[in-house]
Structure 1
Amino acid sequence: MRRALLSAVLVSCACAGPIAPAWSQGRTRLLPEGGRVAVRLTAEERARIGVVTARLAPQPHKIEILAYGSVLDPARITDLTNSYAGALAALRTAKTRAEVSASALRRARTLGPTVVSGAQLETVEGSALTDEAAMAAAESQVRTLAATAQQEWGPVLGRAIVERSPLVTRLIERADLLVQATLPSGEAMKGPPATAFAEVPPQSERVTMRFVAPATRSDQRIQGVSYYYLVAGDSGLLPGMSVQAFLTSPQEAVGIAVPESAVIHWQGRAWIYRGVGADTFARHPVKPDAAISADRSVIDDLGNDTEVVVTGPQAVLSEELKGQIPTSGDADDD
């Protein structure tokens, strides 16, 4: 839509030659303002094209740090949980056999050589030693898997794997998904927030994530500090996805927070429309490094309370562009 409109502007310019500013042609739709064009729209016109404005005041806002999220495959957690459960079952079996063998050995020794021959005693002793060794091996396997869980996933998730807690059960059943959120290299936080947010592609809708624990390893692509978060399994995310994550920092930025619906992208930049007079609005650039707070861009160069177009900025841009296209009468006059 925007490309088509721009093409129409370029074609008209090529056909009609240089265009005089709209305000010099007796029009009142466009006005000069600070080197840019301001659009005049009455309340009735704004209502007709779906433009909504709001007066916003500058105030402190918690800054959100953009992190890089990866939805992890729970297969390794599932494998470790099942392996540990299998090792526990094997240990219980080995203990039972060792207890039975030890009891048989004690009984054979009590009966003495008059009842139990030397060969039979040796057989019982061999069985007892074999079962005791099997029990030791089973205990070692359990300890190894518990240590592996701790090393790979940290104390919180590692303990959950060993205990097969509801946290791990929900991950195995995919009622929840595990997201690793990695801060940009060099970025740090005193403590991760209890809740964070991830954007679900392609609509970029936000879903809430719940903090689990610091990650035991970083994302090799980013080399930053990482944290584990949980997100609902029905959030629209899938294992293997890369997503944008937003972690709230204790730092603050002072300015006017504008919603995403107020921002338009035009000529490679982000813009908003701000009020510059009665029923008059002009485009204002959004800094590329503008702080983000609660999914809103914080504009720190507007000064006092400002009327901002919060819904329908595309319609205002359309009116601005239409006002710069000469009418057929103007072309004939040239």
Structure 2
Amino acid sequence: MIWQRMRTAAACSAAFLTLLSAQPDARAQSSGTAREPATVKLSPTQQKQIGLQTAVLARESHPEQFRAYGTVLDVARLTDLTNNYANAQAQLQTAQARLDVARLAFERARDLVQSAAMPRKDAEAAEGTFRTDQAAVAAADSQVKTLVATARQEWGAVIGKGIIERSPQVVQLIEREQLLVQVTLPPGVTLSEPPRLALAQASTRNANIELRYLSPAPRTDPRIQGVSYYFVAAGDSGLLPGMNTTAYVPSGKAYQGVFVEDTAIVQWQGRAWVYLRAGPETFRRHPIRTDQPISDDDYVVQDIPPGSEIVMRGAQVLLSEEAKSELRGGGDDD
């Protein structure tokens, strides 16, 4: 998406330069002091030529979001634990069945010995088998309990229970119908309650990816040291195991602002700006804060004057012409 928009902006710039060479009277006029952004002037024909589009956007209530850090986990260990637990359970059931048979044989032999119907050595052999099967059951039971504890320690109570019960959720993770994403908040950020939903982005897709809350994570990402949660994403979301992604987690609060797409935002001198219409043929660059992201490129902006007409398409061309105007002005001073 970003490369496509860069190519579009470049094409618009080329078309605009051609237009300027055909119409030498078109100029970017500077007004105000040197510290103030220049006013860029374009005729209606020039605005149409570069595909310039504007819109008046209303301030609305938007959920406040934190930019967090997501990692798509490889669930191979989850698969191993699930299979190991199933095998251990089967071994325990087999050992228990053998023990039940051995117990009956031992009790019968003991009764026969007491009635002198069976030699004592045969009864002792039956008892030995019974004791051996008792030990096998204890060992199998210990293995099952160890795997239960390991599952809960490594994956937390929710997924640990799913491993034990082989829940549909765990089966979907194993079969890659869903992906497990660990989302870690920035250090020092805490939430009053876990978020039900979050958003993520993948380099393979343009759209935001919905993440559904699953459980607290039993450990943090060691690189970030923040509070972590487990979320699940659709298996066909474009995320891949081992992939790092930016996640956007709602804080539970809301604020008023204007939603601005990345096509309206330009970067200049280390700051973010938008262009506002100042007149039928004039546009002025306006600084904005981008501390409330909706995605990697889109933001909710609070510092745009109410009723402002924002340039939604063509802002990069306006910036290019403004920069050229400043260069021309610098040349005149020499």
| Distance (Å, rounded) in 2 between the aligned partners of 1:242 and 1:265 | 25
Secondary structure of the corresponding residue to residue 128 of structure 2: helix
Residue among 131, 135, 138 paired with 1:136: 138
Identity fraction in percent = 45
Native 8 Å contact 1:196 1:209 kept in 2: yes
- Per mean C-alpha deviation after superposition, the further-off stretch among 296-305 and 125-134 is 296-305
Residue among 158, 162, 165 paired with 1:163: 165
Residue identity in the other structure for 1:51: L
- Per mean C-alpha deviation after superposition, the further-off stretch among 200-209 and 274-283 is 200-209
Residue identity in the other structure for 2:109: A
| Distance (Å, rounded) in 1 between the aligned partners of 2:50 and 2:287 | 23
Native 8 Å contact 1:215 1:228 kept in 2: yes
Change (3 A) 1:75 1:33: farther
Native 8 Å contact 2:26 2:43 kept in 1: no
Q: 2:303 corresponds to which residue?
A: 301
Residue identity in the other structure for 1:282: R
Residues 165-190 of structure 1: CA deviation (Å, up to 9, x unaligned): 11111111122111111111111111
Q: 2:29 corresponds to which residue?
A: 30
Kindly state the Cα deviation for residue 124 of structure 1 after the two structures are TM-superposed.
0.4
Q: 2:93 corresponds to which residue?
A: 92
Residue correspondence of structure 1 range 1-334 to structure 2 within 5 A: 29-32=28-31, 35-112=36-113, 114-201=116-203, 205-287=207-289, 290-293=291-294, 296-324=298-326
Secondary structure of the corresponding residue to residue 38 of structure 2: strand
The structure richer in strand per residue is 1
- Number of residue pairs aligned between Structure 1 and Structure 2: 308
Residue identity in the other structure for 2:58: A
| Distance (Å, rounded) in 2 between the aligned partners of 1:166 and 1:241 | 24
Secondary structure of the corresponding residue to residue 151 of structure 1: helix
Residues 132-183 of structure 1: CA deviation (Å, up to 9, x unaligned): 1111111121122112211221111111111111111111112211111111
Kindly state the Cα deviation for residue 275 of structure 1 after the two structures are TM-superposed.
1.7
TM-score (normalizing by structure 1): 0.83
Native 8 Å contact 1:57 1:306 kept in 2: no
- Per mean C-alpha deviation after superposition, the further-off stretch among 199-208 and 124-133 is 199-208
TM-score (normalizing by structure 2): 0.83
Secondary structure of the corresponding residue to residue 184 of structure 1: coil
Kindly state the Cα deviation for residue 27 of structure 1 after the two structures are TM-superposed.
5.3
Residues 78-97 of structure 1: CA deviation (Å, up to 9, x unaligned): 11111101100100110111
| Distance (Å, rounded) in 1 between the aligned partners of 2:328 and 2:221 | 55
Structure 2 residues not aligned, in runs of 5+: 1-5, 11-23
Secondary structure of the corresponding residue to residue 31 of structure 2: strand
Kindly state the Cα deviation for residue 265 of structure 1 after the two structures are TM-superposed.
2.3
Residues 18-70 of structure 1: CA deviation (Å, up to 9, x unaligned): xxxxxxx9755434257221222344433321222110123332111001111
Secondary structure of the corresponding residue to residue 281 of structure 1: strand
| Distance (Å, rounded) in 2 between the aligned partners of 1:136 and 1:43 | 86
| Distance (Å, rounded) in 2 between the aligned partners of 1:190 and 1:91 | 43
| Distance (Å, rounded) in 2 between the aligned partners of 1:110 and 1:196 | 68
Residues 174-211 of structure 1: CA deviation (Å, up to 9, x unaligned): 22111111111111111222111111126664211110
Residues 239-266 of structure 1: CA deviation (Å, up to 9, x unaligned): 2222111001222233322112211223
Residue identity in the other structure for 1:30: Q
